[in-house]
Structure 1
């Protein structure tokens, strides 16, 4: 039996966690990161906070967890669900003989009298 296909996703919640800790500007995060040997420019920190990173260094993730006293699950909310083609049950489709009755009839346009 084949395993169902899964669709996985995530929500990056760094901005929310920052707000919960009274940090409302992206530059508020530059110095705490530097204290943990993470040297990012203000524009890199801005992208980290306002965007959704596709790749993230575990060192940066560990530093963020340390700064906010949390675990990765607080910063990254994950989702997963089954996806794929729905298999049709026998009664879901009309039998081939019934299809002819479902086709539209040719329209005939006649002049108005």
Structure 2
């Protein structure tokens, strides 16, 4: 079975809950916690789900927004499980067919 996972990024929503509506407002709050990011980097962090995120940045965001990583990151299933088989659409197992191996007759 193959299960393709994704995630929802809720940073903008959590910011709004704390009356933080401008991405640039996060820059000094992160800097207070030792995280130095440019305004452009913070903008991308807020507007796009990050592919990589340092644990230090995640912890700083959680501290700023008084939340947990689970509040920021929601795992989702992108594709439902797919069975890798010749008859993937069928839930029944394929019929088993026995094979007989015959050796050629040897002359003596």
Could you state the TM-score of these two structures normalised by the residue count of structure 1? 0.71
Aligned residues: 87
Is residue 2:20 matched to residue 1:18?
A: no
In the TM superposition, residue 23 of structure 1 has moved relative to its aligned partner by 0.4
Deviation at 1:52, TM superposition (A): 1.1
Q: Does 1:55 align with 2:57?
A: no
In the TM superposition, 1:1-113 aligns within 5 A as: 4-80=1-77, 82-85=80-83, 86-89=88-91
Pair 89,72 (structure 1): closer, same or farther in 2 beyond 3 Å: closer
Say which structure is richer in helix: 1
CA RMSD of aligned residues (A): 1.6
TM-score (norm 2): 0.74
Distance (Å, rounded) in 2 between the aligned partners of 1:76 and 1:10? 6
Mark the runs of 5 or more structure 2 residues left unpaired by the alignment: 93-108
How far residue 87 of structure 1 moved from its aligned partner, in angstroms, is: 3.6
Matched position secondary structure for 2:6: strand
